[in-house]
């Protein structure tokens, strides 16, 4: 069985966009800490603007476009999901709780039976 070929295209321009996006995020963080004397509005403004610029540059790169396409496809698939009605969800939840209760009771009875068998009958440790 032949494995499918995976092609990754990393052009110099695409790598430059990713590096610029990373540099903008780092610059935004640096500006946030360097602008402490100018007040919180300047700090948060620089941080938000720098992060937005970094995200914008990232989404112009090939990786950003692929991430956006993946998100769009995932949302399209989520729309196809048929969610159960409230009554059906409550019934299934009750079935699960009932099954868990029955299994807990079964395991408790099995444990006590084995405990009685081994400790009382075979080993005779309890009197």
What's the pLDDT score for residue 4?
A: 60
Q: Full-prediction pTM beyond 0.85? A: no
4-11: long-range pairs with CB below 8 Å, 24+: 9/62, 10/62, 11/62
Over residues 60-104, the pLDDT tens digits come to 999 999 999 999 999 999 999 998 999 999 999 999 999 999 999
Residue 65 tokens, joined: 């476009």
What's the pLDDT score for residue 11?
A: 86
% of the chain exceeding 70 in pLDDT: 91
């Amino acid at each position: 069985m032949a494995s499918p070929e995976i092609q990754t295209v990393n052009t110099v321009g695409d790598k430059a966009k990713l590096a610029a996006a990373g540099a903008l995020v780092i610059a935004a963080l640096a500006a946030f800490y360097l602008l402490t004397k100018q007040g919180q509005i300047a700090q948060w403004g620089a941080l938000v603007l720098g992060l937005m610029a970094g995200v914008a540059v990232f989404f112009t790169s090939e990786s950003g476009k692929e991430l956006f396409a993946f998100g769009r496809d995932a949302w399209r698939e989520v729309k196809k999901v048929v969610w159960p009605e409230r009554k059906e969800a409550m019934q299934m939840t009750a079935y699960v709780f009932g099954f868990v209760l029955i299994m807990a009771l079964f395991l408790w009875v099995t444990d006590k039976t084995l405990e009685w068998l081994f400790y009382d009958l075979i080993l005779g440790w309890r009197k």
